[in-house]
């Protein structure tokens, strides 16, 4: 299973791979399998608002 959640521990922001420009070409992120896993690891983690929007949009299209 691909780890598609990328966590930036500096800004406490969780990104979804390919969902926003922040998640491209940066090697400093910690990969996670799910949002829950990232939050379990660091309670301050919150999903990036761009990624959240992109995810909501994808869910609507289903």
- 15 forms beta bridges with 6
Smallest gap, in angstroms, from Cβ of residue 53 to Zn ion? 9
Minimum CB separation of residue 52 from Zn ion in Å reads 8
State the DSSP H helix or E strand holding residue 15, giving kind and residue range, or none if neither: strand 13-16
- Nearer to Zn ion by Cβ, of 38 and 51: the residue is 51
Residue in 59, 44, 53, 43 with CA at minimum distance from that of residue 21: 53
Using the rule CB under 5 A, which residue among 3, 8, 17, 20 binds Zn ion?
A: 20
Binding site for Zn ion (CB under 5 A): 15, 20, 22, 48, 50-51
């Amino acid at each position: 299973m691909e780890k598609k959640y990328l966590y930036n521990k500096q800004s406490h922001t969780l990104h979804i791979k390919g969902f926003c420009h922040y998640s491209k070409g940066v090697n400093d992120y910690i990969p996670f399998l799910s949002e829950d896993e990232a939050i379990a690891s660091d309670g301050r983690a919150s999903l990036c608002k761009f990624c959240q929007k992109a995810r909501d949009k994808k869910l609507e299209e289903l």
